[in-house]
Amino acid sequence: MKLQSDHLYIRPFEMSDAEHLHHLLLRNRDFFGQYDPIRLESYYSLEAQTKQIADAIKSFENDNGYTFGVFLNSDHTLIGRVSLSAVSRGPFQNAYLGYYLDQQVNGKGYMTEAIKLILQYCFEEISLHRIQAGVMPKNTASIRVLEKSGFRREGLAERYLQINGQWEDHLLYAITKEEIDV
């Protein structure tokens, strides 16, 4: 399965992507670190990324998580990741959106394109009703991506996640199927 836009495509990770994912994380370690929990050194190993992909494949099969690589159409370079976690069925039909993009290609609208693709997938293919995301108030680029993708701000969660060793507030954003024309 592959979902495509003008500049990029997203598809579920495959085991053959592990080395590319490993290099992406190493190249962006400091950049991602300002928005991530403190990671053990082993997280940055090829073995850990191989296991993450294997776990993502299982989650995809079990309908409790969906993780996609973000690739450029021009040369098929892996430039990021977009994922849906904690998929809840029943009356909620909700998932949490997470994403990151190679610092080298930030500011070009790629993540907005990728999120629009995953929203189409959420609402048309796997019948979710609501997608939500949390973002640190200082992460203005990510806030801009969510707002350009149609997410609405719902509020502030104080001391929401421990990021880089500190309890950080997060702005909460969401979008429902009724709010988007997919």
pLDDT digits (tens, 9 = 90+) for 26-57: 999 999 999 999 999 999 999 999 999 999 99
pLDDT tens for each residue of 105-147: 999 999 999 999 999 999 999 999 999 999 999 999 999 999 9
Contact 98, 133 (CB under 8 A): yes
C-alpha–C-alpha distance, residues 3 and 113, integer Å: 11
C-alpha–C-alpha distance, residues 174 and 7, integer Å: 25
Q: What CATH number is associated with residue 68? A: 3.40.630.30
Task: Look up tokens 């090829």; give the residue.
Answer: 46
From 63, 65, 72, 58, select the one nearest 15 (Cα to Cα).
58
User: Long-range contacts made by residues 61-68, C-beta under 8 angstroms, separation at least 24?
Assistant: 63/87, 63/89, 63/126, 65/95, 66/12, 66/95, 66/118, 66/121, 66/126, 67/12, 67/13, 68/3, 68/10, 68/11, 68/12, 68/13, 68/114, 68/118
Number of domains within the chain: 1
pLDDT tens for each residue of 50-89: 999 999 999 999 999 999 999 999 999 999 999 999 999 9
pLDDT tens for each residue of 3-29: 999 999 999 999 999 999 999 999 999
pLDDT tens for each residue of 89-112: 999 999 999 999 999 999 999 999
- What is the predicted pLDDT for the residue at 164? 87
- What is the predicted pLDDT for the residue at 134? 97
Residue 182, pLDDT above cutoff 70? no
Pairing between β-strand 66-72 and β-strand 8-12 as defined by DSSP bridges:
antiparallel
Range of the domain at 144: 3-179
C-alpha–C-alpha distance, residues 64 and 93, integer Å: 11
List residues bridging with 19 in a β-sheet: none
